[in-house]
Amino acid sequence: GKHADKTALCTAVGGHADSASLETLYAASAAAVALGCPQKLKLGAKAAEVVKSGTSDGSTTASLYFAVNTLAATGAKLDSKAVLTALNSAIKKDDSLKSLGLAFHVAALLSGDVSKIYERIEDVIVQADTVDNKMMQFEGGLSVTSIVLTGAASLAAKAGKPLPVTADQAVMFATYLLSRKSVQQAKGALQLLEGVESMTGKLAQFTPVSVSLASSLAVQKTSPNVVISVLDLKGNPLAGDMKVTLDSIVSSPDGDSLATGVAMTKSDTAAGTYKADLMALKPAPGFYELTVSAKSSGGASAKLVGNQGVKLMVKVLVEAKITGAELKVIDSEAGGNKAHKLTYPQTTSGLALRQKDRLQLTFAVENAGSAKAEKLIVHQAFVKIAHVESGSEIIYVAESDSNDVYKFELDLDAEADLLKGSGKYTLTLMLGDPVVSNPISWLFGECQLDLTLGAPAAEGSPFQPKPEIKHLFREPEARPPQMVSTVFTLLCLSPVLILLILWFKLGANISNFSFSLSAIGFHLGLGAIFALYVMFWLELTMFVTMRYLALIGVATFICGNSLLAGIAKKTSK
């Protein structure tokens, strides 16, 4: 159970009793006190040394802060005079905001005359930055602001003197602290809570009051009450009875006063809330500025700040209804027109429109809640024509004339190039206004539009893949059929055949052939040359062929020469 957790935590904390780091000792001792551990933390010898050196002259304000707090939390004796001297010299060395804030904390724990350090509070407050005229903070954000504020508050309480902070400054510091509600880390959350506590606790010099709207901004017949919550920074109702009045209710843009001095009664929605019936004052629809004051009927009102003249904004809503809606389709060529009466919320479908038509829409907006026909002007009165298939839409503004009747004209011929071609279209009326409680989006017409213009060609977006291209190769030239080639091949071979046949007929012979070296060489060489030509045709390059040809050619020439010489010798015999 809880006790077991506590003892476990206490043991864990006690384990750091002999740490060499001042910050750890401070954290451990303060945790022991906060947890309510049965035994106060006992410092080890090393730790005691560290603490002693932390309180000696020459240490920084941070060390002094940790050391003094450790001594206080462990119930040890504190040499206030020595610490004070050390503190003064530390401030002289480092007088940054954070250092001074820590110094205030230290001084609040000392006995004796701390007025010198108290005087520094005023210097520090002057260095605060104003943001947006609404918030005040110190450079360094939440941590520095919290340290300075809590330190100054505890020092002022210790010295028995007031904080040199005005009521307005207190309100601005409080606004800053509340703006940091979304702080994420545990350390920041602790600083925020400590800061808030310094402004709400019993010792707080000021109690900033938060006066805010608890009900919705909009007030209407169904929720006629304005509910205001008056709470302190922590969200708790203030002690004692409060008298809350609406000092004035003024119409926002004009400045006309609706009522003054309206008293608010306690509301039972939550503690600290007060209500007043705004609708009972019969306000016209619009924005109103309320000025609220919350006075305490008890004696603590001197401490309250930020509770007078608080300005809040509310708006009074009105319910709207559409009357007299009529759609005229005018044929600009033939000159005739056809009027369709439209009733909200029905859709008139089946309209067939052509490009030469003109559309005219008239309607009025009236207050649904009032008996007489009170016309309203709304901020948004748009007519939307949408192409059902592609989803594209064009929006036009309907203008009101001097009688507060809205008129809208659409010349289809002029707008034809903006529309996406023929097809089914829907016509919608959109009405809205900050003070209208029921914004209207009324699909009042469905029509079939017939445009002579075709839809614009869809452009290729750079994000789409482009069409594939396959290269068209050149067709090879037509070749004659194989049969033709074969026939001609045979024809080309025929001369050789004819040669051989005729030679045979003529009685050609090679009877003078004799096997001599030169004859064999010559004929072989000649055959080799032709064989070389065949090889050249099949595979070889010119260069290789030339080389071989040179060799064989020379050989064949020599053989041929000697052969011819031999034959010549024979015939001359």
Residue with tokens 């000792």: 25
Examine residue 403 and tell whether it contacts another protein (CB under 8 A).
no
CB of 523 to another protein, least distance (A): 7
Question: Is residue 184 near another protein by the rule CB under 8 A?
Answer: yes
Amino acid at 16: H
Nearer to another protein, 371 or 496 (CB): 496
387 binds another protein (CB under 8 A): no
Task: State the nearest-atom distance from the C-beta of 396 to another protein, in Å.
Answer: 8
Question: Which one, 203 or 531, has the nearer CB to another protein?
Answer: 531
In the complex with another protein, which residue's Cβ is closer, 8 or 534? Answer: 534
Instruction: Indicate which single residue of 11, 370, 489, 561 sits in contact with another protein (rule: CB under 8 A).
Output: 489
What x/- string results for residues 300 through 329 when contact with another protein is judged by CB under 8 A?
A: -------------xxx--------------
Choose the stretch contacting another protein; rule: CB under 8 A; options: 117-125, 160-168, 179-187, 338-346: 179-187
Question: Does 548 engage in binding with another protein (CB under 8 A)?
Answer: no
495 sits near another protein (criterion: CB under 8 A) = yes
Contact 230, 264 (CB under 8 A): no
153-172 residues near another protein, rule: CB under 8 A:
none
Is 111 a residue that touches another protein (CB under 8 A)?
Answer: no
As measured in angstroms, the least distance from the Cβ of 106 to another protein is 27
Tell me which stretch binds another protein (CB under 8 A): 40-48, 54-62, 127-135, 407-415.
127-135
Name which position in 239, 270, 280, 493 contacts another protein (CB under 8 A): 493
Contact status: 38 vs another protein (CB under 8 A): no
* Residue 374 exposed, middle or buried by CB count within 10 Å (0-12, 13-18, 19+): middle
Q: Which residues touch 90 (CB under 8 Å, ≥6 apart)?
A: 59, 60, 61, 64, 99, 103
Closer CB to another protein, residue 533 or residue 557?
533
Separation of alpha carbons 74 and 25, rounded Å: 10
Closest to 278 (Cα-Cα) out of 329, 317, 331, 321: 317
Under rule CB under 8 A, residue 492 binds another protein: yes
Positions in 252-271 near another protein (CB under 8 A): 253
60 vs 291 by CB, closer to another protein: 291
How many residues touch another protein under the rule CB under 8 A: the total is 84
Contacting another protein (CB under 8 A), which of 36, 255, 336, 465?
465
Strands ordered across the beta sheet of 273-277: 265-266, 273-277, 225-232, 207-213, 304-305
Which tokens in the block code for residue 320?
């709207």
Q: Stretches 156-164, 299-307, 411-419, 461-469: which one binds another protein (CB under 8 A)?
A: 461-469
- Is residue 341 within 8 A of residue 379, CB to CB? The reply is no
Is 482 one of the binding residues for another protein (CB under 8 A)? yes
Residue 505, Cβ density class (10 Å: 0-12 exposed, 13-18 middle, ≥19 buried):
exposed
- Residues 6 or more apart whose CB falls under 8 angstroms from that of 282 comprise none
**Interface of this chain with another protein, residues 201 to 230, rule: CB under 8 A:** 216-218
345 part of the interface to another protein, by CB under 8 A: no
CB 270 within 8 A of CB 214: yes
Collapsing DSSP states into helix, strand and coil, what is residue 388? coil
Q: Considering only CA atoms, which of 55, 78, 76, 82 is closest in space to residue 66?
A: 55
The correct pick among 7, 257, 343, 485 for binding another protein (CB under 8 A) is: 485
352 burial (CB, 10 Å; 0-12 / 13-18 / 19+) is exposed
Residue from 533, 535, 550, 551 touching another protein (CB under 8 A): that is 533
Among residues 491, 543, 568, 569, which is the contact residue for another protein, using CB under 8 A?
A: 491
DSSP 361: E
Kindly identify the residues of this chain, within the stretch 278-297, that bind another protein according to CB under 8 A: 287
508: tokens are 């050609």
Least distance from another protein to the Cβ atom of residue 210, Å: 17
| E-state strands within 34-179 | 129-131, 135-137
Binding mask 348-377 for another protein (x = CB under 8 A): -----------------------------x
The answer to whether 397 contacts another protein (rule: CB under 8 A) is yes
By CB under 8 A, tell whether 434 contacts another protein: yes
- Give CA separation, 191 vs 38, 207, 209, in Å: 27, 18, 20
Secondary structure of 232-264 in the HEC alphabet? ECCCCECCCCEEEEEEEEEECCCCCEEEEEEEC
CB of 3 to another protein, least distance (A): 36
Should residue 129 be labelled a site residue for another protein when binding is judged by CB under 8 A?
yes
Q: How far is the CB of 530 from another protein (least distance, A)?
A: 5
Amino acid at position 504, single letter:
F
Backbone angles phi, psi at 271, to 5 degrees: -65, 140
Asked whether 70 and 60 are in contact (CB, 8 A), the reply is: no
